[in-house]
Amino acid sequence: MKKTIHLVINDEEKSLSVDVNKTLLEVLREDLGLTGTKRGCNQGECGACTVLLNGKPVSSCSLLAVKADGKSIVTIEGLAKDGTLHPIQKAFNEKGAIQCGFCTPGMILVTKSLLEQNPKPQLAEIKEAISGNICRCTGYVKIIEAISSLVDS
């Protein structure tokens, strides 16, 4: 069964007919081609599929797309503007916080939400903010350095 939903995705209004059983992750990746949002565990555990829903991080694998009807969504594709990376993306690049990159979209979106709510987070607050996002590569040190560099600047 299908239902028409209305979303604002990366500042663009969209109306689309979605399968009522599809997750937001599936709709983003399969229906909209926004493959920057990654599928890791598909069980709400790893954070790879994180997007911002009305500014708050959510696991898109654990949310039916129909539940996002009427809401605003930011995916990693929404951050760079006119070919220029977002400052958080630049910081992750410059600090070597990206290895395989699978966790990176989710980490960056969680960081965006954190810094919007709390521009000067303490180290413990940074750790808490990314605690739902698993990275198998970096050991988190470089990621925390990247986020901290944005706080200091």
Which span sits near ligand FES by CB under 6 A: 5-13, 65-73, 98-106, 123-131? 98-106
Helix (H, G, I), strand (E, B) or coil at 150: helix
Instruction: State the binding string over 49-78 for ligand FES (x if CB under 6 A, else -).
Output: x---------x-x-----------------
Q: Is 37 in the site for ligand FES (CB under 6 A)?
A: no
Nearer to ligand FES, 7 or 108 (CB): 108
Determine, following the binding rule CB under 6 A, whether residue 40 of this chain makes contact with ligand FES: yes
- Ranges of beta strands (E only) in the chain are 2-9, 12-19, 50-53, 56-59, 72-74
3-state class of 50 per DSSP?
Answer: strand
Q: Report the b/e string of 35-52 with b at 16+ CB within 10 A.
A: ebbbbbeeeeebbbbbbb
User: CA–CA separation, 107 vs 131, rounded Å?
Assistant: 10
CB of 6 to ligand FES, least distance (A): 24
By CB under 6 A, name the binding residues for ligand FES. Answer: 39-42, 44-49, 59, 61, 98-103, 135-138
